[in-house]
Amino acid sequence: MASQLQALNRWVDDVARLTRPDRIHWCDGSDAEYRALLDLMQRDGTLIPLNPDTHPDAWLHRSHPSDVARVEHLTLVCTTNEEDAGPNNHWMAPADAHAKIDALFDGCMQGRTLYVVPYCMGPIESPISRCGVEITDSPYVVANMRIMTRMGAAALARIEREGAQALARGAQPAFVRGLHSIGELDPERRFIMHFPEELTIKSYGSGYGGNALLGKKCHALRIGSWQARQEGWLAEHMLIVGIENPQGQTHYVAAAFPSACGKTNLAMLIPPEGYRRAGWKVWTIGDDICWMTPGADGRLYAINPEAGFFGVAPGTSNDTNPNALASIQRDTIFTNVAVTADDQPWWEGLPGKPVTDWQGRPYDPANGPAAHPNSRFTVSARQAPSWSPRAEDAQGVPISAIVFGGRRPSLIPLVFEARDWAHGVLVGAAMGSETTAAATGAVGVLRRDSMAMKPFCGYNYGDYFAHWLSFDRPGARLPKIFHVNWFRKGADGKFLWPGYGENLRVLEWIIGRCEGRVGADETPIGYLPREGDLNLDGLHLPERAFDTLLEVDADGWRAEVDDIGRYLDSFGDRTPARLREEQRRVAEALSKASAQPRKAAAG
């Protein structure tokens, strides 16, 4: 037996001695195994079958009411040096963390089955992919991991093969080890711990996806970002979308947005009617996570490490995201949604009426929304009408542009292009969203969420910014970097830009800039479209909306850039000098700004 599998077997034996399960099952990822898991959960009430005529092979799972979301204050990064975790993470010393959580794991699987889940994040044959093994006592987790990853025998074979190759090179074989138990689902006995120096994850007390599907945020982002810095690639909280023009050329764009900023909608965008008639197409590679690595030609190539979508159900409708809605009409696991009288899944935004809410109670508006606001669907990405077969390309897809975005009702233009890579890193580091009264009780509170990675970066943000800057080296053909803001409002408080499919108009300009065939105006904050650069045919904007969407308020921006400087200071000496210099450069350019017309940039 290869040493890698010997190490895996020893680890499984060690975990079994600690957790004391009744039995051990090694998952092979087969259809028969999946069906057996579904049957098991149907028998014990964990899964409820939905209407087989409208939603064949679709199921409802209800979480414990205290276990419905990620728990950031209980999510820890456990590095030897606290500074390596950084102020952007909650930290605990590794020895203390292991002792604390292992005491919870002691005997926790008695009466349960221990499942060994080998998985691959990314296409099995891709050199960009990385493997892991999750041990769990939750059949719900196993079923979801089968949808969300390449799970089972093929992943185990890759782990064995990589172990043999590593030993032949004299290197230490490694795969990410994840240990999970639902425990008692007690919020007081719940932790999600990451040990990046050991490539280890330990999660106890939660069955919620982000806390329990350890291949997702835990591996693909927190541990993945640590691996990426060590190995020279990027693990990012980004969608990947392909934009095909009428000539049949496709550009791939990676985009990072904080929550509630339309990430999944952009990943599955449907072009406006005029664009569809002209022959434009949009292809979905991924909606949540992007792994990018430099290719031999100097470009960044990206894969979606996931195989499925773990999407938020509320807000998904025929009006907002028909592709997503079409994806989940069959072979889907729904979590914490409501149910109609004829057993169809329901959430706010869909037609029809719920009779049962997400907790299984008769629906009563006095109890709040029928579907939990964070209710989810888990479905294979292949079921999306816009899914691209190139999602399975081993080498990944070449990235032409990286787009950052946030929810800002004022100041930030509809779109602007960074001057160069260093400026683009600053733009990504500074991104964020302003809160609303409905969400927080306070209006206009800016929360910076650099590269949309605040909850997911597995190490110090200052080191993370330096890693991004390190890609700007001789021979690199890096993507252009842009910032978008779909949420700017007019004086009447209404959105100025219609969003959704109309966002393709902005993407068309972005692609034109990547191809060097459209111009722009140079401003202190970057390059902006000129009047006539954006295709507005058939779009009826409010009067003067276009001017407001692309306005650069120098006074407002000076305050913004000063605040960005204070934010960078919060990471102390770990913040790279190059980023501080870039912030000062923008500040100086703004201080010189006057009422002179913008300077046109070459195409």
Is 275 annotated as belonging to a binding site? Answer: no
Is 237 annotated as belonging to a binding site? Answer: yes
Helix (H) or strand (E) holding 286, with range, is strand 281-286
251, β-bridge pairs:
243
| Phi/psi at 106 (5° precision) | -60, 110
Is 405 annotated as belonging to a binding site? Answer: no
Q: How far, in whole angstroms, is CA 264 from its chain's centroid?
A: 9
Is 217 annotated as belonging to a binding site? Answer: yes
Is 70 annotated as belonging to a binding site? Answer: yes
Is 588 annotated as belonging to a binding site? Answer: no
For 174, residues 6+ apart whose C-beta sits below 8 A from its C-beta are 166, 199
Is 288 annotated as belonging to a binding site? Answer: yes
From the candidates 78, 261, 290, 457, give the one annotated as an active-site residue.
261
Which sign does the torsion angle of CA 408, 409, 414, 417 carry?
A: negative
Q: How far, in whole angstroms, is CA 269 from its chain's centroid?
A: 17
Is 360 annotated as belonging to a binding site? Answer: no
514, β-bridge pairs:
none
Is 219 annotated as belonging to a binding site? Answer: no
Is 17 annotated as belonging to a binding site? Answer: no
What are the tokens at 278? 């002209």
* DSSP secondary structure letter of residue 215: I
Is 262 annotated as belonging to a binding site? Answer: yes
Give the residue from 59, 58, 68 showing the smallest Cα distance to 368. 68
What are the tokens at 78? 């456990």
Is 7 annotated as belonging to a binding site? Answer: no
Is 519 annotated as belonging to a binding site? Answer: no
- Please give the order of strands across the beta sheet that includes 59-61: 47-49, 59-61, 333-335, 376-380, 308-312
Is 259 annotated as belonging to a binding site? Answer: yes
| Phi/psi at 254 (5° precision) | -105, 135
Is 75 annotated as belonging to a binding site? Answer: no
**Is 261 in the active site?**
yes
- DSSP string covering 498-558: --GGGGHHHHHHHHHHHHT-S-EEEETTEEEPPTTTS--TT--PPTTHHHHHT---HHHHH
Is 332 annotated as belonging to a binding site? Answer: no
* Block residue for tokens 């409905």: 438
Distance, CA of 251 to CA of 429 (rounded, Å): 24
Is 562 annotated as belonging to a binding site? Answer: no
Is 55 annotated as belonging to a binding site? Answer: no
Cβ atoms of 493 and 500 within 8 Å: the answer is no
Is 374 annotated as belonging to a binding site? Answer: yes
CA atoms within 13 A on the CB side of 287: 29
Give the residue from 413, 444, 315 showing the smallest Cα distance to 369. 315
Is 407 annotated as belonging to a binding site? Answer: yes
* DSSP secondary structure letter of residue 495: B
Residues that are catalytic: 261
Please give the annotated binding residues for GTP, written as ranges.
260-265, 376, 407, 500-503
Please give the annotated binding residues for substrate, written as ranges.
70, 208-210, 259, 374-376
Please give the annotated binding residues for Mn(2+), written as ranges.
217, 237, 288
Please give the annotated binding residues, written as ranges.
70, 208-210, 217, 237, 259-265, 288, 374-376, 407, 500-503
